[in-house]
């Protein structure tokens, strides 16, 4: 694997960032590095979205279970087509029935979009971006809300077929049916783990937005609660994966830094 080093750069607008280069390029003069232009889609270091700072989080040590071969990626994934990472690989191995080696990844000063801290307006802005790019198409969405005794909270189902929604609503005592304006994934959605017509695209749409717009970020992080089906997790943007793989070292289960 190529040995990569991080070098500081400043774009034409004076914004500070960094770039990873092969170690044999380290002889490049600092003056040249300081004039490298950032991609036109990059944002200032204080990333803004819908008039507010983009929520970010940094993770000290992360792990990946399996291989780094994209061909082994499942056809469907909650994180999309990027490289899945977590703080607790042993937990995720149990949840997702994962096989393969455990890899410890250590990239300092990493920056992830903190998905659960996005405001309503910021989520809407990400969807608007998807609409502008042709990744999403507008549709009417039917929401059936009901009380879930097991979770002791309100749950809901989303669907695009009115007859199906009415049937579900009639079959659940005390449920309510709402008609909403929404989106579904188009056939041009860039992440192939999302199928055309899919309504459950939002988390992966955020990963697409990071990879195409907020290119200084390493990926998206979901600080999910620990339960039978979930735990904190993240995904690396495709353009960042090589940097993280370069830091990877295989570890035994006994050497995993478990959550407190």
The answer on 131 and 3 residing in a single domain is: no
Average confidence score pLDDT of the chain: 83
Question: Are 26 and 106 contained in the same domain?
Answer: no
Whether the pLDDT of residue 44 is over 60: the answer is: no
Tell me the residue length of the chain: 260
In a domain, 1, yes or no: yes
- List the one residue out of 8, 16, 12 whose CA is nearest residue 45: 16
Beta bridge mates, 215: none
Residue 164: inside a domain: no
Report the pLDDT averaged over residues 37-46. 46
Per-residue pLDDT band for 70 (boundaries 50, 70, 90) equals confident
Q: Which pLDDT score, from 0 to 100, does residue 81 have? A: 86
Same structural domain for residues 237 and 256?
Answer: yes
State whether 104 and 228 are in the same domain: yes
Report how far residue 148's alpha carbon sits from residue 153's, in angstroms, rounded to the nearest whole number.
Answer: 5
**Per-residue confidence (pLDDT) for residue 122, from 0 to 100:** 97
Domain shared by 49 and 34, yes or no: no
Q: Which of 14-18, 47-51, 55-59, 208-212 has the lowest mean pLDDT?
A: 14-18
pLDDT of residue 218 exceeding 90: yes
| DSSP H helices in the chain | 30-33, 89-96, 120-132, 162-171, 202-212, 241-246
Average pLDDT (170-193) is: 95
Instruction: Tell me, yes or no, whether 34 and 119 share the same domain.
Output: no
Mean pLDDT of 20-24: 43
Interval 134-142 mean pLDDT: 96
* Proportion of the chain above pLDDT 90, given as a percent: 67
Q: Is the same domain home to 16 and 65? A: no
Helices then strands, each counted (H, E), the chain: 6, 15
Residue 239 lies in a domain: yes
Domain count, the chain: 2
Q: What percent of the chain has pLDDT over 70?
A: 79
Query: Could you give the C-alpha distances from 239 to 4, 28, 207, in angstroms and in order?
Result: 14, 22, 12
Domain annotation covers residue 148: no
Strands 56-57 and 102-105: unpaired
86 and 205 in a single domain? The answer is yes
Class of residue 102 by CB neighbours under 10 A (exposed 0-12, middle 13-18, buried 19+): buried
* 155 lies in some domain: no
Average pLDDT over residues 247-259: 88
Question: In the structure, what pLDDT confidence band is assigned to residue 74 with cuts at 50, 70 and 90?
Answer: low
- Pick the more confident residue, 243 or 13: 243
- The CA distance from 18 to 217, in Å, is 11
How far is it, in rounded angstroms, from Cα 84 to Cα 80? 8
- The verdict on residue 167 lying in a domain is no
Q: 8 and 120: one domain?
A: no
Which domain range does residue 101 map to?
44-135+186-260
Check whether 4 has a pLDDT greater than 70: no
50 and 29 in a single domain? The answer is no
Residues near 235 by Cβ (< 8 Å), separated by ≥ 6?
79, 80, 82, 83, 84, 85, 207, 219, 220
144 domain residue, yes or no: no
Identify whether residues 109 and 69 lie together within a single domain: yes
> Do 19 and 126 reside in the same domain of the chain?
no
154 within domain boundaries: no
């Amino acid at each position: 694997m190529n040995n990569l080093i991080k070098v500081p750069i400043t774009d034409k607008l004076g914004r500070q960032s960094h770039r990873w280069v092969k170690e044999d390029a380290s002889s490049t003069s600092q003056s040249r590095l300081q004039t490298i232009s950032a991609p036109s889609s990059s944002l200032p270091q204080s990333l803004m979205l819908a008039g507010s700072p983009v929520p970010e989080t940094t993770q000290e040590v992360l792990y990946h279970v399996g291989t780094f071969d994209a061909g082994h990626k499942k056809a469907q994934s909650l994180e999309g087509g990027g490289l899945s990472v977590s703080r607790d690989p042993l937990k995720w191995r149990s949840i997702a029935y994962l096989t393969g080696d455990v890899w410890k990844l250590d990239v300092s000063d990493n920056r992830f979009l903190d998905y659960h801290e996005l405001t309503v307006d910021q989520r809407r802005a990400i969807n608007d971006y998807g609409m502008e790019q042709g990744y999403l198409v507008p549709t009417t969405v039917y929401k059936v809300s009901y009380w879930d005794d097991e979770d002791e909270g309100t749950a809901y189902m989303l669907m695009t077929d009115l007859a199906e929604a009415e049937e579900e609503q009639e079959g659940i005592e005390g449920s309510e049916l709402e008609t909403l304006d929404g989106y579904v994934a188009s056939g041009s959605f860039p992440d192939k783990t999302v199928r055309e017509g899919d309504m459950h695209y939002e988390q992966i749409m955020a990963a697409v937005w990071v990879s195409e717009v907020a290119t200084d970020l390493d990926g998206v992080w979901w600080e999910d609660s620990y339960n039978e089906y979930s735990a904190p997790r993240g995904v690396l943007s495709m353009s960042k994966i090589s940097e993280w793989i370069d830091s990877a070292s295989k570890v035994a289960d006994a050497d995993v830094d478990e959550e407190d």
